[in-house]
Amino acid sequence: MNLSANIAGVTLPNCIMNAAGARCVTQAELEALGRSHAGAIVTKSMTPLSRTGNPEPRYYSFPGGSLNSMGLPNLGYPAYAQIIPSLRSFGKPVIASIAGLTEQDFFDAAEAINAVKPDLIEVNLSCPNLPGKPQIGYDIEASQQLLRRLRHIISVPMGVKLPPYFDPVHHSSVASMLEQVGGVSFLSLINSVGNGLIVDPDQECVVIKPKGGFGGLGGKIIKPVALANVRAFWKFFQGRLPIIGTGGIETGLDIFEHVLCGASAVQIGTVLVEEGLSAFDRLAGEL
């Protein structure tokens, strides 16, 4: 079976890759993704300075999925700018995820990373775990302003990683904004479902430490939300913007459902963290 995919003119040997954040922070992790059967190497979202992230415990897994509040731990974009060229030897696309605590962070990361020419750049508008910083993707004007400048800085195909939206009004206003901005070549849908809370009734406390226990939900539990967002944006763009579906993928059938809703490729997060790199082989075998 041919599992290859095309995202904005870039061919992936297969359509299953890691989600930004899952096993992709260090050089060793990125190289392991290169040697694995992942269809692309996606980096952790990067900021100007290296970050250790939020205090632990900051990740919790449960039978329905996971809750995280990692807080953007990453090596900083200068380190990724050095690593990215060497990842080309693995013969699969490299997708650099950029983020920031300020607008300027995004511009600086975009300039430095664009210069080393990853195959695609994914702009993360949806980190839910920075104390005191709202998710940019929930502010349409701020997203528009940011993307308007980024499209002139980034010359490789640029995509956006969006948070989940829960009302058709928001799907269509965000999609219209993206169309107006122009220069957006793909969508990654969705980031974790922000600000969930899990309580341990025995310990009478929350299960992760940062932000009073609030964190991004991922895994099986969020699949219907992910599918709804893939479908809603596909319907708006009618296939004009390729979509990378993310959220709730545990089996080949889950991938098929994402594809039925409009995804051209998929990313895996929780299952990759829990199962390891062999998840790529298992999932490909299930298709």
Q: Which residues bind ligand RRO (CB under 6 A)?
A: 21, 45, 68-72, 99, 124, 126-129, 191-192, 216
HSE of 43, CA atoms in CB hemisphere, 13 A: 33
Residue 2 beta carbon to ligand RRO: minimum distance, rounded to whole angstroms: 31
Residue 160 beta carbon to ligand RRO: minimum distance, rounded to whole angstroms: 12
Residue 188 beta carbon to ligand RRO: minimum distance, rounded to whole angstroms: 10
* Distances 50 to 117, 157, 264, 275 between C-alpha atoms, Å: 21, 25, 32, 27
13 vs 76 by CB, closer to ligand RRO: 76
CA-based nearest residue to 144, from 92, 180, 117: 180
From the candidates 15, 127, 205, 261, which is the catalytic residue?
127
CA-based nearest residue to 246, from 264, 105, 232: 264
Q: Are 286 and 256 in contact (CB under 8 A)?
A: no
Find the radius of gyration of the CA atoms of the chain.
Answer: 17
Has 127 been annotated as catalytic?
yes
Question: Secondary structure of the chain: what % helix, strand, coil (to 5)?
Answer: 40, 25, 40
22 vs 284 by CB, closer to ligand RRO: 22
3 vs 207 by CB, closer to ligand RRO: 207
120 vs 259 by CB, closer to ligand RRO: 120
Residue 190 beta carbon to ligand RRO: minimum distance, rounded to whole angstroms: 10
Q: Are 216 and 67 in contact (CB under 8 A)?
A: yes
Residue 97 beta carbon to ligand RRO: minimum distance, rounded to whole angstroms: 8
Cα angle vertex 257, ends 135, 91, to 5°?
A: 75
Length of the chain as a residue count:
287
50 vs 172 by CB, closer to ligand RRO: 50
Q: Which residues are catalytic?
A: 127
